[in-house]
A and B are shown apart, each in its own frame.
Chain A
Amino acid sequence: DGGITQSPKYLFRKEGQNVTLSCEQNLNHDAMYWYRQDPGQGLRLIYYSQIVNDFQKGDIAEGYSVSREKKESFPLTVTSAQKNPTAFYLCASSIDMNNEQFFGPGTRLTVL
């Protein structure tokens, strides 16, 4: 089946630790995105990538890092510099940046 997978579904982290969230797609999409969702808020863009080996900061990139070494993979690292990392994280992909985005099932990150 074609789609977007995110793992793990739930993730717990101690303060001061970095953690990496996985996002994989087999839709052959060029563009991939990471969003953060907080209660009562819409989705906010963290990072996006239009093509392999290229990515740009979104609206709330501080404390996060990404890589795009393969077309199908776009992992997000939440670093210890992110002051309030507890949130729901959604990954998305699209054919290009002028087409609708399709979302993965999300990862719930909780900092203990």
Chain B
Amino acid sequence: AQTVTQSQPEMSVQEAETVTLSCTYDTSENNYYLFWYKQPPSRQMILVIRQEAYKQQNATENRFSVNFQKAAKSFSLKISDSQLGDTAMYFCAFMKLKLVFGKGTKLTVNP
């Protein structure tokens, strides 16, 4: 069974700085998808970014980018120019037909 590990339960960053959230996963599959979801205090789950495993190029979405290392089974999220609205729980997720979530990292952006 696939597992997803987020080793940082909590992190904090100053507004306008850059922060990186870590994620590792375990799978024997070759083709799959990886996602980062954001859950703000409203508890709405919001898709931040997705990565197809067959693509070598790292995905980017505005201030959000990933560092996907397939051999190392690592999928970190970098948030540049952090904003107060980035304060949220961030979940890494692996998908091969079904989504498997990590336990999340609570990110606080301080003014």
Contact = CB atoms under 8 A, between A and B. Distances in A.
A91 B83 CA distance: 28
Given A41-B103, A42-B4, A97 B44 contact: no
Contacts of A16: none
B11 to A, nearest CB: 15
B102 to A, nearest CB: 5
A105 B44 contact: yes
The size class of the interface chain B forms with chain A is: 20 to 34
Contacts of B103: 40-42
Given A42-B91, A100-B33, A101-B47, 12 more contacts: A42-B4, A42-B101, A42-B104, A43-B99, A45-B98, A45-B99, A48-B98, A92-B45, A98-B33, A100-B35, A100-B95, A105-B43
Contact of B43 (A58, A102, A106): A106
Interface in B1-56: 4, 33, 35, 37, 42-47, 50
Contact of B101 (A43, A48, A58): A43
Interface residues of A, number: 20
B97 interface: yes
B101 A103 contact: no
Nearest to A58: B98
Nearest to B45: A103
A88 interface: yes
A101 B44 contact: no
A36 B110 CA distance: 30
A33 B100 CA distance: 12
A100 B44 contact: no
Contacts of B44: 103, 105-106
A97 B43 contact: no
Contacts of B47: 100-102
Given A42-B4, A42-B91, A106-B44, A101 B99 contact: yes
A102 B95 CA distance: 13
